[in-house]
Amino acid sequence: MRFSKSLILITLSALVISFAEAYDPSPLQDFCVAIGDLKNGVFVNGKFCKDPKQAKAEDFFYSGLNQAGTTNNKVKSNVTTVNVDQIPGLNTLGISLVRIDYAPYGQNPPHTHPRATEILVLVEGTLYVGFVSSNQDNNRLFAKVLNPGDVFVFPIGMIHFQVNIGKTPAVAFAGLSSQNAGVITITDTVFGSTPPINPDILAQAFQLDVNVVKDLEAKFKN
């Protein structure tokens, strides 16, 4: 069976459009405020929505990003998330925000956001940041040292990281193109899954001794 070039182009265009619309579709109304009580809501996309006539300013408000998060943990960083769970009015709007605090030499370890591109601006300190492209692009590392006022973009789905390379705390803010971007921390996911992945599988995948894998799984166990 032979297909015309026009038919192939139409089919490919349809596929591109369908994938482009697979993330946080545009709102079908001025706003759709999330509501916990399903009896008073109408299901649209994302979360259930309250009657627009009952929306109030508090549905679009959050206070507290001026406060630093605690960095007294193993990775010496803290991510304060402001998404649809904190601001119900973000429902269906396809955007959210985070504040990231880094202790000296702290890091936001390699992770990925399955539903969002991230754009980060450094406000204070010095960061080394980067992301790694896909296998098809030969896993290239794109990295930069950021100073206050610098901006860096992490494309959707790419594994990325930030490290404070300075002797003083660092602060960054980042916007994400989803009301609920999700986060997959690589080490926690691979070595801390429930139930754990068979150590023999990981030993072969990472070319490690199986006892090393067992030690890592014990360390990252949830």
Buried b (16+ CB within 10 A) or exposed e, 8-38: eeeeeeeeeeeeeeeebeeeeeebbbbbeee
Residue 111 annotated as lining a ligand binding site: yes
Tokens of 186: 């690589």
**Binding residue per annotation — 118?**
yes
CA–CA distances in Å: residue 69 to residues 80, 96, 101, 165, 186? 7, 18, 6, 19, 22
Judge whether 160 is annotated as a binding position.
Answer: yes
According to the annotation, is 108 in a ligand binding site?
Answer: yes
Nearest-5° Cα angle at 186, 181 to 191: 130
Could you list the residues known to form a binding site for oxalate, using ranges: 108, 113, 118
Could you list the residues known to form a binding site, using ranges: 108, 111, 113, 118, 160
Could you list the residues known to form a binding site for Mn(2+), using ranges: 111, 113, 118, 160
